[in-house]
Structure 1
């Protein structure tokens, strides 16, 4: 029994440690981080040139903050509404309570 638990623990440890090691020792993330820094610098320059336009962050676009919040609220709100409505008239509702 102890040998089985040890083996399961080893497998779980490997599953947790392997992705971390891949990201830690890969050079692909270093290239992307340089690209991100250059893109951020370019965005700052564009924002400085167009002071009346704001920072350029698309808050109300679907990929912006408000768009992502609206999409997630619609999805989770719809799921919650379905559970609420199904729970009100299900098979296990107590008799005589509405």
Structure 2
């Protein structure tokens, strides 16, 4: 872990651990975060809890730049955290940095 200003940069995974189209849960300081590798190769990180009923987004189906909650199929954008459902909302997003074969989050 290193500090960048007031933000911590934490290694959370190796790139090889994040499989395209399949979410990966990481827990940092008690916070569950979902990592996703998109078809473009970019890795995105969002809060791992759907605002509707708390469904684990890391277990959802990935389509394009969205993940669908496994409980009630709510659509969540992995870029901005915006939720498309009967009651719109959002989940927290995290800045991701990939350096060599390591995935870092800014927390």
Question: Which structure would you say has the larger RCO, counting Cα contacts within 8 Å and 6 or more residues apart?
Answer: 2
The answer to which structure has the higher strand fraction is 2
TM beyond 0.5: no
If you compute each CA radius of gyration, which structure gives the higher value, 1 or 2?
A: 1
Q: TM-score range by the shorter chain?
A: under 0.3
The answer to which structure has the higher helix fraction is 1
Give the TM-score, by structure 2 length.
Answer: 0.18
